[in-house]
Amino acid sequence: MLLAPLVQPAPTLPLVGSRTAHQLRVPGTRAPEARVACGPTLALFGFAAVAGLGLADRKGRRTARRALSKDEWRARCSNSSGGQVTFDVSVTKPLGVELREFPDRPGVGVAQIMPGGGVSNLNEQVLVKGAEGMWVLEGDEVVAVNGAPCAGGDMDSVVPLIGAADATVTLTLVRNWLKTPKGPIKVVFLPSGDSTSVNRTTPLSEVARSCEEQVRYGCRGGHCGSCWHQEISTGKVFKLCCESVPTNWDNTMPLILKADPQKLGLEDISAPSLV
Ligand code: FES
């Protein structure tokens, strides 16, 4: 399937997107842009399931998903220093991403990820189904394409490299997890598998709403427990009714929130009242 970059005016996309995938526009990105058109859903890899935490996806199938620590996510990167990580992803074309030049730093990066493209499928495999490897986040800079360096390049130098690649292309990406400007954070809800990329400090209730995640709210102060979600890598409990996306989250790893208040010992207060 051919890569089909389209140069077109930037559409205004709200944070709230489709149920299965959501996009965050990188603030202040400027034209020119290249949108790599989405095609039919493609199976990227024949990953073996990772042993560990078993979960059911939204179609009821059992999937294997093991919670990785921050160090384990960083170990999937070729370099981690200076507030940046560098890593490779192998993606099947069409990629289904919008590339743009950054306004505040050199280079070309990922501005949007469209559902159904190769990048979206890769992210689902890694983030939801526990496949090996890294995943793509809005704001990642493309620094090499199939080993050909393009760090700090412009659209005219980066897009042709992708266009000339075979059906599967290896992108080398750099992500700022600490270095300014800090990138967004990928939030994934389990077991639905719905995800979105959001700016730090975004209220978690807003994040859940954008994902059309079904959350019961019984209070506004974080004490009733009905909205609580547990982040699977850290074990931290997030109270969606009154907490926001943390400012200091290392976005090398996703923020994976599992809705399971009963396992937090909240059977009594999360049960519906029968009157
Ligand atoms: S709705 Fe009660 S703890 Fe969040």
Answer whether 0.85 is exceeded by the pTM: no
Assess whether the C-beta atom of 218 lies below 6 angstroms from ligand 1: yes
Stated as kind and residue range, the H or E segment containing 259 is strand 255-259
Q: In which residue ranges of the chain is CATH 3.10.20.740 found?
A: 185-270
Pocket test for ligand 1, best of 224, 268, 269, 273 (most atoms within 8 A of CB): 224
Pocket test for ligand 1, best of 227, 229, 264 (most atoms within 8 A of CB): 227
Assess whether the C-beta atom of 219 lies below 6 angstroms from ligand 1: yes
pLDDT tens-digit map of 93-119:
999 999 999 988 899 999 999 999 999
* CB contact at 8 A, 203 and 244: yes
**d(Cα 236, Cα 58) in Å, to the nearest integer?**
24
Dihedral class, residue 262 (left if φ above 0, else alpha if ψ from -120 to 50, else beta): alpha
How far away, in angstroms, is 216 Cα from ligand 1 center? Answer: 8
State the virtual CA torsion across 38, 43, 49, 54 in degrees, nearest 10: 50
When the pLDDT of each residue in the chain is averaged and rounded to a whole number, the result is 77
- Facing residues of 173 across strands? 87, 142
Atom 1 of ligand 1: nearest residue by CA position: 217
**d(Cα 205, Cα 182) in Å, to the nearest integer?**
22
Per-residue pLDDT of the chain (275 residues; tens, 9 = 90+): 333 332 222 222 222 233 333 434 443 344 444 554 333 222 222 222 222 334 444 444 444 467 899 999 999 999 998 889 999 999 999 999 999 999 888 999 999 999 999 999 999 999 999 999 999 999 999 999 999 999 999 999 999 999 999 999 999 999 987 777 778 999 999 989 999 999 999 999 999 999 999 998 989 899 889 999 999 999 999 999 999 999 989 999 999 999 876 555 554 444 433 32
- For the chain, how many helices (H) and strands (E)? 5, 16
Q: Which CATH architecture has domain 13-39+57-176?
A: Roll (2.30)
Residues 6+ apart with CB under 8 A from 103: 28, 29, 30
Assess whether the C-beta atom of 93 lies below 6 angstroms from ligand 1: no
pLDDT tens-digit map of 38-90:
332 222 222 222 223 344 444 444 444 678 999 999 999 999 988 899 999 99
Atom of ligand 1 nearest to the CA of 223: 3
How far away, in angstroms, is 235 Cα from ligand 1 center? Answer: 18
Q: Which CATH architecture has domain 185-270?
A: Roll (3.10)
Assess whether the C-beta atom of 259 lies below 6 angstroms from ligand 1: no
Q: In which residue ranges of the chain is CATH 2.30.42.10 found?
A: 13-39+57-176
**d(Cα 238, Cα 249) in Å, to the nearest integer?**
13
